[in-house]
Structure 1
Amino acid sequence: MSSAYLLVSHGSRDRRPEIAMQQLAKLVHNKLSENHNLSNSEHLVGIAALEMSPQPLHEQIQQFANSVFGDGGLRTLSQNENRLKIVPLFLLPGVHVMTDIPAEVALAQQAVGQHIIIEVQPYLGSHPNLEKLLAKQTAAIKTEAWILLAHGSRRPGSQETIEAMAASLGAVTAYWASPPSLESRVKELVDAGYREIAILPYFLFAGGITDAIAASIEELKLQFSAVNFQLAEPLGASAELAELIWDLTITP
């Protein structure tokens, strides 16, 4: 059986997330080479974006599948056993993960036919060891209180995972796109007597939102001059994150 892997992110007008995705794809390619002893496997790991791309996702999937399994590709090595594994690099089980990506994959499957099987793997935020990466970041910063700041989702129940993760990390939650907001959480902590507050952004890469978070914290510093604020980094492209992604691709 021949397999290829397509890492799917949200997409951004900012170039930084795309560059980080390319770095992450290389790291996943390294894991593929290690596990299958492949020296020329880099073309088997690609990236795509759900939004902010010139092509809709289903066309990106189709194009990548054809480039890997078309004439001269893996299809000549393994007829009728070609699999393309789609890995959603999303942290919450929101509408994109539960509805949008499956719909785009269904369109791509119709287009490529039955000689390629397209499978959607579990989304990144479902990996149980993701919390350990966050714990490494919290251990590196000394503070009195942590706020785990996630994007938020309009899908009911999608934030339960974040709430549980925050509780395990000894943090409180805030959301960028839904309540409770960062400012309201900060006010609660200040009213409770905390003067050392650190914010852990639950985002994959630096980009427009993390810039906006940093700007918001500068405003909070002016509003709460007696408080020392610290901002941790987003997850970023790392060998540890690539390891979690690889685990998701080998999930039965």
Structure 2
Amino acid sequence: MSPKGAVMICGHGSRDERAVSQFNAMVETMKQTHLADYDVESGFLEFAHPILRDGFEKLKAMGHKKIYALPGMLFAAGHVKNDLPSEVNNFAHENPDIEVLFGRDLAIDPKLLMAAKERIEEALVDADDSIERKDTLLMVVGRGTNDPDANSNVYKVARMLQEGMGFGRTEISYSGVAHPRVNAGLREAMKLGYKRVVVFPYFLFAGILIDRIYTHTDEVAAEFGDVEFIKAGYLKDHPMVLESFAERLAEIDTGDNNMNCQLCKYREQIIGYEGDVGTPQVGHHHHVMGIGTDGHSHDHGHHHHHGHGHHHHGHSHGHSHDHGHSHAHDRDDAKKPTGS
């Protein structure tokens, strides 16, 4: 058995090799810096390999009896609330002697806000000095999901950047699923009369969606030649992003690994999503698991489904089967659960 601890970094995955490469590069950097005292493996939920199961199996083969699983995702939408826990639960169900502790999403974090600030400032280095911040609109672009809690976090990020950086106004848009989309959001923003627009994708890695954001920006910029459009870079492997990952790991041991259950549409009746309360916690990505960057399927046949107990986020997954969507975390229901 390895004397080190074990960390599994769970990535989203992409058909775009740039996204996969950047994720893998970040993991390698983490191995050398913040996670040097751990055996570290990684895998992807969809569209790329290795799949999550491969990483867990490698750590198991090393003899680890406790594995920390960290979601490599910014916000807690369906992947963090459903798909990743489902994969973790399946592995834990088949390996009851292994304790799997699941961290939370990166979320809204002072370190990530600092990383965002620096990416925006990098983009402004060569901008027209005659245009002041108060005459500049910041457009923060989120991924877009069918989870209102995750979507609303983009607004908070935007507002904090506006107040912290002195922009005249901040608007938000999404690359998909949610509205407004980037092109519609930018055209609407043009009515406000700002001289400059900075488009900032609040994303971790490159990919098709980043390309789409920049393409829509160019299209709208061509329609409004008197406005300066600046495309800022995404977060990528900024040092503060790596610090945030390390912080999420530390939170598991300290018990500070909390998510916002009060606004989770699976636990509470959120307006417009009342029918989602109690939805079973199952993965929805087996058909795209391991497919993408190499063209080969890596379906390992582990298709088990468990109830939507949401008993994760810093709690053991070793004995978790067929619980309702109570978020009870395998503990007395009188106790307030700490995860979404």
In the alignment, the residues of structure 2 paired with residue 129 and residue 157 of structure 1 have an alpha-carbon distance, to the nearest angstrom, of 21
Identify the residue that residue 43 of structure 2 maps to in structure 1.
Answer: 48
Q: Which residue of 2 aligns with 1:99?
A: 82
The whole-number CA distance in structure 2 between the counterparts of 1:201 and 1:126 is 15
How far apart in 2 are the matches of 1:204 and 1:108? Answer: 27
Query: 1:134-156: per-residue Cα shift (whole Å, max 9, x none)?
Result: 12223332651100001111013
Measure the CA separation in 2 of the matches of 1:198 and 1:93: 26
Number of corresponding residues: 231
Query: What TM-score, normalized by structure 2, do the two folds share?
Result: 0.63
1:83 is the counterpart of 2:86: no
Measure the CA separation in 2 of the matches of 1:156 and 1:244: 23
Shift of 1:18: 1.3
User: What pairs up with 1:18-167 in 2 under 5 angstroms?
Assistant: 18-29=20-31, 30-33=33-36, 36=37, 44-53=39-48, 57=51, 60-61=52-53, 63-70=54-61, 73-75=62-64, 82-111=65-94, 113-140=95-122, 141=124, 144-167=136-159
Match of 1:236 in 2: 236
- Please give the alpha-carbon distance, in whole angstroms, between the structure 2 residues aligned to 1:85 and 1:245: 12
TM-score, scaled to structure 1 = 0.84
2:119–2:234 contact (8 Å) kept in structure 1: no
Give 1 or 2: higher helix fraction: 1
* Larger strand share, 1 or 2: 1
Q: Residues 21 and 47 of structure 1 are in contact (CA less than 8 Å); yes or no, is this contact kept in structure 2?
A: no
Is the CA contact 1:4–1:45 (under 8 Å) kept in the aligned structure 2?
yes
The amino acid that maps onto 2:16 is D
Match of 2:272 in 1: none
Which residue pairs with 2:300 in the alignment? none
1:107-165 Cα offsets, whole Å, 9 max, x none, are 11112x12221111011224442112112223332651100001111013222221111
- Does the 8 Å CA contact 1:27/1:238 hold for their aligned counterparts? no
Deviation at 1:189, TM superposition (A): 2.5
Tell me, which stretches of 5 or more residues in structure 2 are unaligned? 128-132, 163-169, 255-340
Instruction: Note the C-alpha offset of 1:65.
Output: 3.0
Q: In structure 1, give the amino acid aligned to 2:172.
A: T
Distance 1:164 1:240 in 2: 19
8 Å CA contact 1:2, 1:74 repeated in 2: no
Q: Which amino acid aligns with 2:182?
A: L
CA distance in 2, matches of 1:32, 1:93: 23
Pairwise CA RMSD: 2.0
Counterpart in the other structure of 1:172: 171
- The reply to whether residue 211 of structure 1 matches residue 211 of structure 2 is yes
Q: Which runs of 5+ in 1 are unaligned?
A: 76-81
- Evaluate the alpha carbon distance shift between residue 220 and residue 64 of structure 1 in structure 2; reply closer, same or farther with a 3 A threshold: same
| Over 3 Å off, 4+ runs | none
Deviates more, 1:233-242 or 1:203-212: 233-242
* Residues in 2 aligned to 1:64 and 1:54: alpha-carbon distance in whole angstroms: 10
Task: Indicate the SS of the match to 1:149.
Answer: strand
